[in-house]
Amino acid sequence: MASSISICRACLTRPSTLVGRTPRLLRPTSDIHRLLPTTSTVPSLIFTSGFSTTPSLPAGGGAINRAKMKSSKLKQTKKKKPKTHFKIWNHAELPKYALTEAMRYIRAFEVGNDVRQAKYDLAVKIYTQKNGPAVKSRIQLPKAVNTDIRICVFADGKKADAAREAGAVVVGTKDVWEQIKEGIINFDRVICASDVFQEFQKTGLGRVLGPKGLMPSPRTGTVVTNPATIISAMIGASDYRERQGVVRIAIGQLGFSPDELRDNIKVFMDQLAKDLARIEDFDKRINEVVLSSTNSPAFSLSGEFRNIGREEDLDITPEVIEGAVAAEEAPVAAVL
């Protein structure tokens, strides 16, 4: 088969050489004879094409047809409408996990890691348009996740002193902006006092701060008349925003108990639902809620706290203890 194909390719690329070689190719022992149907129109066609310079079929007929095919395919693809929404999947029949069950698995995958460093991570898939307004907000969780946030405040005079007292790490105006221009950014949040804001806008630092999501703007509530007041609220708060149709947030440290995590998730989901409802004229709905952590696979949550349907399977503790008591009485059996 392979040899025949190579011949064919040669024919397609160099038709002139084929004309001279046709008699040799059509010897009864050649591969072509075996591959073709014995009594068909093809052999006669071969002869005509081989020996006449103006055959009934054009020499490059195959190639032209192929080109036509390609163009028709291209037309078909062009007809497809561009997708306006982010893709969502039907996950109704796929397994879902209760919170405690997911946590138990996650704790197993995260064994040996620092309980404070590893975080539970919540991803909420949203049915939404690709363009249009995105969700972006801040939330104060019942139990804060990040307690060591470094805040930078652009202010001068009395406001700067007040901000420093409230817990801001970097405070100042021109000297701080120059530092940022040089690339020294050792903070996670930026607040700007409203009287310095116009001056700040002239510096053109949006190019540096913008991609990092640090740019203060009145819309996100980071340009305030008195920065000191919101610092305390900001230290325990966490930001979240919609990216590619998914809202992600660190929802808890790995050491949190199921109750604490449940409260955090509840509060977050309530606020997110309100955020989605607030955006008018755009249909935004929650599609899926997925819990994962720094080093573990992701679990699609069912919305239950404990698995009700299979409680007997999960809650093995009483049996285990009985088994252990029996094992102490008869250690040999336990070893086996």
Partner 1 sequence: MPSPTSRLRWLRAKLYSVRNGTGAAILPPNISRIALSFNYKSNNGHMGPRKFFRECLPRLKYHNPEVDMTVTRKDALEGPATLTIHFTNTPIEQELQLKKKQPTTPTIRETISTIDIDMLNRYPDDIMEELVTKTKATLYSEPPRPQELEEEAEYLAAKRQNELKEKYKLQRADRRKGKDDQLKGAILA
Positions in the binding site for partner 1 (CB under 8 A): 1, 4-5, 7-9, 11-12, 15, 18, 32, 35-36, 42, 45-46, 49, 57, 59-63, 65-66, 87, 89, 91, 94-95, 100, 103-105, 107-109, 111-112, 123, 125, 244-246, 255, 257-259, 288, 290, 297-300, 316-318, 320-321, 323-325, 327-328, 331, 334-335
Q: What is the identity of the amino acid at 275?
A: D
Q: Which two tokens stand for residue 226?
A: 């008195």
**Complex with partner 1: residue 184 or 327, whichever CB lies closer:** 327
Q: Which residues contact 244 (CB under 8 A, 6 or more apart)?
A: 86
Q: Which is nearer to partner 1, 97 or 154 (CB)?
A: 97
For residue 291, which of 125, 53, 42 has the smallest C-alpha distance? 125
CB of 91 to partner 1, least distance (A): 4
**Residue 43: Cβ-neighbour burial (10 angstroms; 0-12, 13-18, 19+):** middle
By beta-carbon proximity to partner 1, the closer residue of 65 and 201 is 65
Contact 304, 98 (CB under 8 A): yes
Q: In terms of Cα–Cα distance, which of 133, 140, 138, 124 is closest to 278?
A: 133
Report, in Å, the least distance between residue 298 CB and partner 1: 6
CA 18 to chain centre: 55
In this structure, the strands spanning 119-127 and 136-140 are unpaired
- Asked if 251 contacts 122 with a C-beta cutoff of 8 angstroms, the reply is yes
> Which has the closest alpha carbon to 261: 118, 144, 105?
144
Distance, in Å, from the CA atom of 11 to the CA atom of 41, rounded to the nearest integer, reads 19
Q: Which is nearer to partner 1, 105 or 187 (CB)?
A: 105
Residue 95 or 183 with smaller CB distance to partner 1: 95
Cβ atoms 163, 227 nearer than 8 A:
yes
- The conformation of residue 58, written as its DSSP 8-state character, comes to -
Nearest CB to partner 1, comparing residues 3 and 140: 3
CA pair distance 116, 236, nearest whole angstrom: 15
What 3-state DSSP class applies to 43? helix
CB nearer to partner 1: pick between 280 and 328: 328
Amino acid at 187: F
**Smallest Cα–Cα separation from 262: which of 62, 132, 98, 114?**
98
For partner 1, which is the closer residue by CB, 98 or 214?
Answer: 98
Q: Two tokens at 145?
A: 């996740």
Report, in Å, the least distance between residue 214 CB and partner 1: 25
Residue 104 or 181 having the CB closest to partner 1 = 104
Residue 40 CB, nearest distance to partner 1 (Å)? 10
Q: Nearest approach, Cβ of 88 to partner 1 (angstroms)?
A: 9
